[in-house]
Amino acid sequence: MGQKKIRRKIWIGILLLGLTGAGYLMRDFLVGKMLYPAPWLGVKAPQAPLEEVALPLEGGIKVIAWRYRHPSPTPQTPVLIFFHGNAENLQTMAFSGIFTQFQQLNAHFLALDYPGYGRSGGRPSEGSLVAAGMAALDRAETDFPGQPVILAGWSLGAGIAFQVAARAPERLSGFIALSAWSSLEDVAKEHFPAWLVHALLRERYDSLAAAAQIACPALLIHGESDELIPVTHGAALSRQLPNLQRWLAVPHTGHNDLFSRREVWEALEGFVKQIAST
């Protein structure tokens, strides 16, 4: 049986659970597990030169972030805040080598695990993830005062980045979104019937609405062959951002292989250099 048919049967089963009074909590639990799946690798302490920091949230909750300080900074060295995808955590990113590549961008960076991910406390939801993103922005400004801040995210992380940026556009010098959706509802409808999405989905992550609020220079990158979040989502966002510097649709590239493309890293490096020079 195809993967789409299997997923559709799962969602229909969740809906049927939700139609019973006792099933509402189970429905929310299962939808949450599909949207925020537990990454396969546990999170340990980072290896130097990365440092671990804790970001406080309301209710005494703390989320874990890893910080990198550029060894030879200038007053214009940017700090990049990065939000990862939904099935990732800090350890899987370290395992993939992405932090090593980030260190070549001539920037400081801060990457965090969302509530309920890795060793971060709390539970994942749109509200809690955006709150964690705002806490990361606060920490970046505290640790790197006066440095230009670039917000960046991939997949789910791009959805978070849009929401954080729309809430604090005046605090940003740059914005990067990779494999971004126009909204979670729109991308869900790419894979499931609209009636099922309307019945089940509570999270919104409306990036298209948020984009109009982001006045800083922006970079959008998307794989042309992305089957999970089609490139049409990125194209729609490119028409909405007021200060888009570049819209890069990468040929012969899907969703999970985006960071393996040389042109992606060249675009990231060029954008960081542009922000550092302004």
Whether 75 has a pLDDT exceeding 70, the answer reads: yes
Q: Confidence band (pLDDT; 50, 70, 90) for 232? A: very high
Residues 31 and 48 in one domain: no
Residue 236: count of CB within 10 angstroms of its CB:
17
Q: What are phi and psi of 179, to 5 degrees?
A: 55, 50
Measured between alpha carbons, how far is 65 from 252 in angstroms, rounded to an integer? 33
Asked if residue 185 and residue 50 are part of one domain, the reply reads yes
Choose between 222 and 18: higher pLDDT: 222
- The C-alpha atoms of residue 49 and residue 51 are separated, in whole angstroms, by 7
Share of the chain above pLDDT 90, in %: 78
Looking at residues 72-95, what average pLDDT do you find? 96
Q: Is the pLDDT of residue 254 over 80?
A: yes
152 pLDDT higher than 70:
yes
- Quote the percentage of the chain above a pLDDT of 70: 89
DSSP tag of 58: G
**pLDDT 10s digits, 154-190:** 999 999 999 999 999 999 999 999 999 999 999 989 8
Separation CA 129–CA 115 (nearest Å): 7
Domain check: are 12 and 106 in the same one? no
Q: Using 50, 70 and 90 to split pLDDT, how confident is the model at 30?
A: low
Give residue 195's pLDDT: 83
Residue 158: both structure tokens together? 């791009």
Give the C-alpha separation, 162 to 169, whole Å. Answer: 10
Specify the pLDDT at position 202: 84
Domain residues for the domain of 255 are: 44-276
CATH of the domain at 122: 3.40.50.1820
Note the pTM of the prediction, 2 decimals.
0.90
Q: Note whether 30 and 53 are same-domain residues.
A: no
Whether residue 90 has pLDDT greater than 80: yes
Number of domains in the chain: 2
104 with 192, same domain?
A: yes
Query: Does the pLDDT at position 72 exceed 60?
Result: yes
Q: Is the confidence at residue 22, as pLDDT, over 50?
A: no
Q: Average pLDDT over the chain, rounded to whole?
A: 91
What average pLDDT does range 201-212 have in this prediction? 94
Report residue 191's pLDDT band, with 50, 70 and 90 as the boundaries: confident
More confident residue, 28 or 1: 28
Query: Is the domain of 143 the same as that of 261?
Result: yes
Q: What single-letter DSSP state applies at residue 39?
A: P
User: Is there a single domain that holds both residue 18 and residue 144?
Assistant: no
- Residue 23 above 80 pLDDT? no
Residues 91, 11 share a domain: no
Would you say residue 31 has pLDDT above 60?
yes
Q: In this predicted model, what pLDDT tens digit does every residue of 103-127 receive, in sequence order?
A: 999 999 999 999 999 999 999 999 9
Predicted confidence at residue 270, as pLDDT, reads 98
- Let me know whether 247 and 114 are in one domain: yes
- Evaluate whether 223 touches 196 at the Cβ level (below 8 Å): no
